[in-house]
Amino acid sequence: MPYRITLIPGDGIGPEVAEATTRVLAATGVAIDWERAELTAAIMEQAGTSLPPHVLESLEKTGIGLKGPVTTPIGTGFKSVNVAIRKQLDLFANVRPVFTLPGLKTRFQDVNIDMVIFRENTEDLYSGLEHEVVKDVVESLKIITRHASMRIARYAFEYSRKNGRRKVTAVHKANIMKLSDGLFIRCCREVAAEYPEIAYNELIVDNASMQLVMRPESFDVLLLPNLYGDIVSDLAAGLVGGLGVVPGANMGENHAVFEAVHGSAPDIAGQGVANPTALMSSAILMLRHLGEGAAADRLQAAISATYREGKHLTRDVGGSGSTWEFTDAVISHL
């Protein structure tokens, strides 16, 4: 029986990288029956919401989604599609592996970076509780709960135990926000005590940011509340080549959505030059979630071989190849 999975191509370069990814997934031999759910800025405008019913219904039915980038208005308009999906499906864990790709030229190309970032996905300042107290004075509420903090901490430590990770670093600002970040860090300590075989340490978020760009190879697993996790995960992506090459997963108790974390890049849409690595790599996380570990390993090896070879890379990573040349190269290595 094929897996039934929701495909949200998105807009901008989304349909191109989604097509490239479904092609390489087909080449792995894993049978997937895609349920396509269109979601673009125009569709959101027409529906009057960032999460139209047909998208949510599909994800609730299949339980698994693969999502390309969707344009989000800045400062005005609808709220983020990603935030809406995470809240509606209670996708509490954002998981972002960040690792060095062979042959990819970066400032850290001679450093072996291999970390996994776990970001709490449902609360903090992303709760969206803000209002104008008086004219030109706006208040945003930062929500931290024991339930959410314990849940993301346990998810990170369980992942570390199952995957042989040796150290978890919790990132916070409890020296200033003693109640909210203080609660988060106390929960992390409580969970850490249940996993004595895994080293645990803590870093204040500004120090963690500095350490990441000075000694990125020293990090293994990072555990953060929502806002810090959003910022630090993008910072870490910059160490290995940018958002175009790192995967992302949003995990819940009953649902999972795997997505490219980069933007929709409307300026290059339709030109066939977009890099599909991020969505392909997110599909690898999806295969592992499905229990298709062998196919995931083969696809990861094929992407790595394509980068190591360096002949068909897209221009954002120093090559001149098209989306389809890169995709064909990955398939040939498969």
Per-residue pLDDT reduced to its tens digit, 88-99:
999 999 999 999
DSSP 2: P
Whether residue 77 is predicted with pLDDT greater than 90 in this model: the reply is no
Mean pLDDT of 266-272: 94
Which residue, among 1, 3, 15, has the nearest Cα to 288 in the 3D structure? 3
The third-level CATH classification (topology) of the domain covering 114-239 is Isopropylmalate Dehydrogenase (3.40.718)
| pLDDT tens digit sequence for 3-20 | 999 999 999 999 999 999
Task: Tell me: pLDDT of 239 over 70.
Answer: yes
Does an H or E element contain 254, and which?
none
Considering the chain, tell me which residue range(s) the CATH 3.40.718.10 domain(s) occupy.
1-91+242-334, 114-239
Predicted TM-score (pTM) of the model is 0.94
Percent of the chain with pLDDT over 70: 98
Query: Rounded CA gap, 169 and 188, in Å?
Result: 9
Tell me the average pLDDT across 28-47.
93
pLDDT tens figures, 175-214? 999 999 999 999 999 999 999 999 999 999 999 999 999 9
Closest to 155 in 3D by CA, of 250, 231, 72: 250
Exposure on the CB side of residue 319, measured as CA atoms within 13 A: 21
Q: What CA–CA distance (Å, rounded) separates 329 from 322? A: 11
What strands lie across the sheet with 32-36, from one edge to the other?
32-36, 3-8, 64-67, 256-260, 247-251, 93-99, 114-120, 221-224, 167-172, 199-204
Fold of 1-91+242-334: Isopropylmalate Dehydrogenase (3.40.718)
